[in-house]
Amino acid sequence: MKDYHSSHMVKYKPETDRCGHDVLELLPFLKGHKWDEVALAYVHSLRPSSIRVTSEGTTLDARTWRVTVYIDNNDVIEKIEQEVEVWLPKGVAHGEALDYARVFGIDSEQCKWHLDAEMTYNISRNVSPDGKPHYYKTDSNGNVVEFPRAEI
């Protein structure tokens, strides 16, 4: 990673064509600020493909570079997220696995869980009784394979 050390700049060359998608929370200094033209001016800096502002739920379609501004009922910003394209290092299956690689490492069971080619990827997300997401997948025989639990 020292290839990018510089006092000016180094032209970026992607290491691979393996890309995935993720959501990043950005512009944290706008939390608590009213959604207004000043906030929009900062959102513009993200070069969004589109913008949605919501105090309710969102659709689960993916739109790269879209910015979502979550507001309360008084138009006060709670958080701002952008859907982004991410480079996927070897051993990382997709954007969610990249999040686990950041926290636990690329070689962690949480990151590797997503790579199992023998599984039928019928990954479901359910909420367990404690309110936390419950991830699992099934193998070709219908056996459930639990996600390795860990706190983030």
Domain chopping of the chain, boundaries: 19-86, 88-146
Amino acid 144: pLDDT: 78
Mean pLDDT to the nearest integer, 93-110? 91
Q: Give the CATH number of domain 19-86.
A: 3.30.10.10
pLDDT surpassing 90 at residue 68: yes
pLDDT surpassing 80 at residue 137: no
Q: What φ, ψ does residue 84 adopt, rounded to 5°?
A: -130, 160
Of the pLDDT bands very low, low, confident and very high (cuts 50, 70, 90), residue 107 is: very high
pLDDT surpassing 60 at residue 152: no
Q: Cα separation of 124 and 118, whole Å?
A: 17
Give 21 or 136, the one with higher predicted confidence: 21
Q: Give the global pTM.
A: 0.75
Mean pLDDT to the nearest integer, 123-143? 64
